[in-house]
C-alpha cells in the first residue's frame, strides 16, 4: 500500500496533479493503519499544489487528529508544520506563526536534542520572518537552521537553509551552495528553483 501512496508523489513530481488526486481518490487505506499518515500527507501536498487550501487544511487537520488520538508527538509536530506551510502560502502569517508556536512546544518537550527537527522548524520560522520583512530576525533564524542542518546528513535540509539565506541576503554564494546540495541529493526541482532565484538577482 505504501508503494501505491508514493506513486501519487511520483505523479506530482511529473506535474500530473489531477492524476495524483484521482489516484488517491481510488485508493482504500485503513484509517487505523500507519500508512494513513502518508495517505493524508499526500492529499495535503497535492491540494496545496493546486491551491485548494481548504482541502489541504482538511487533510492535515485529519492527520493531526489521528496523531493526537494515538499520542504520536512526532506526527503532531509534523502536522503543525504542514498546517503552517498552508497558512504561509495563503499569506496568513499570523496563523502560520501560531502553528509554529504549537510545533515548537512539542519539539522542546519531546525532540529537544534532534538537530534535524530543529533545522526544518527554524527554516520555516526564518522564512516567515523574511516574508514579513523582519530581515534581521530572519537571518539569525535561518543561520541557526543551517547550523542544525549541518549537524545532520540531511542534504535537503542543508540546501533549504542555504537557499533561505540566499533569499534573505540576496546572496549568489548561498544559492550556489544550495544548488550543489540539491544536485548531490538528486533533487532536480530544487535545482530549478535555485536557477530561477539566481536569475532574479
**pLDDT, tens digit, for every residue of 140-157?**
999 999 999 999 999 999
Which of these ranges, 1-10, 60-69, 72-81, 98-107, has the smallest mean pLDDT? 1-10
H helix intervals, the chain: 2-13, 17-25, 35-49, 53-70, 73-89, 93-110, 115-131, 135-149, 155-169, 172-185, 188-199
**Cβ atoms 18, 56 nearer than 8 A:** no
Question: By three-state DSSP, how is residue 17 classified?
Answer: helix
Residue 199 has pLDDT above 80, yes or no: yes
Mean pLDDT (whole number) for 134-139: 98
Angstrom distance (rounded) from CA 84 to CA 102? 10
- Per the listing, cell 482541502 goes with 55
Q: Are 45 and 9 in contact (CB under 8 A)?
A: yes
Listed in sequence order, the residues at least 6 apart from 1 whose beta carbon sits closer than 8 Å to its beta carbon are: 27, 29, 33, 35
**How many angstroms separate the CA atoms of 49 and 102, rounded?**
24
Are 1-112 and 116-201 the same fold in CATH? yes
> Among candidates 154, 162, 166, which has minimal Cα distance to 198?
166
Domain 1-112, CATH 1.25.40.10 — does that match?
A: yes
pLDDT at 102 over 80: yes
pLDDT of residue 13: 80
SS3 assignment, position 51: coil
Averaged over 71-92, what is the pLDDT?
A: 97
Q: What residue segments make up the domains of the chain, in order of their start? A: 1-112, 116-201
Residue 167's SS3 state is helix
Residue whose C-alpha cell reads 499570523 in the numeric block: 94
The pLDDT assigned to 135 comes to 97
Name the percent of the chain lying above pLDDT 70: 100
Question: What are the tens digits of pLDDT across the range 177-193?
Answer: 999 999 999 998 899 99
Mean pLDDT across 72-83: 98
171 near 159, Cβ under 8 Å?
no
Helix, strand or coil for residue 151? coil
The predicted structure's pLDDT at residue 8: 86
Residue 37's pLDDT is what? 95
Estimate to the nearest angstrom the gap between the alpha carbon of 201 and the chain centroid: 24
pLDDT at residue 161, as a whole number: 98
Specify whether domain 116-201 bears CATH 1.25.40.10. yes
Per-residue pLDDT for 172 more than 80? yes
Joined together, the cell numbers standing for residue 1 give: 500500500
Is the pLDDT score of 11 beyond 90? Answer: no
Contact assessment for residue 40 and residue 47, using Cβ atoms and an 8 Å cutoff:
no
Amino acid at each position: 500500500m505504501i508503494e501505491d501512496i508514493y506513486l501519487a508523489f511520483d505523479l506530482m513530481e511529473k506535474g500530473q496533479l489531477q492524476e495524483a488526486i484521482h489516484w488517491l481518490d481510488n485508493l482504500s487505506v485503513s484509517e487505523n493503519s500507519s500508512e494513513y499518515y502518508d495517505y493524508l500527507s499526500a492529499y495535503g501536498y497535492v491540494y496545496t499544489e493546486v491551491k485548494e487550501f481548504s482541502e489541504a487544511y482538511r487533510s492535515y487537520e485529519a492527520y493531526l487528529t489521528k496523531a493526537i488520538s494515538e499520542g504520536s508527538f512526532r506526527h503532531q509536530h509534523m502536522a503543525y508544520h504542514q498546517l503552517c506551510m498552508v497558512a504561509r502560502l495563503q499569506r496568513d502569517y499570523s496563523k502560520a506563526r501560531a502553528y509554529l508556536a504549537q510545533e515548537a512546544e512539542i519539539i522542546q518537550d519531546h525532540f529537544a536534542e534532534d538537530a534535524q527537527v530543529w533545522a526544518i522548524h527554524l527554516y520555516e520560522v526564518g522564512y516567515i520572518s523574511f516574508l514579513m520583512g523582519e530581515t534581521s530576525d530572519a537571518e539569525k533564524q535561518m543561520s541557526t537552521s543551517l547550523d542544525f542542518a549541518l549537524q545532520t546528513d540531511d542534504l535537503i535540509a542543508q540546501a533549504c537553509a542555504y537557499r533561505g539565506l540566499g533569499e534573505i541576503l540576496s546572496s549568489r554564494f548561498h544559492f550556489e551552495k544550495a544548488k550543489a546540495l540539491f544536485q548531490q541529493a538528486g533533487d532536480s526541482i530544487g535545482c530549478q528553483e535555485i536557477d530561477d532565484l539566481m536569475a532574479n538577482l
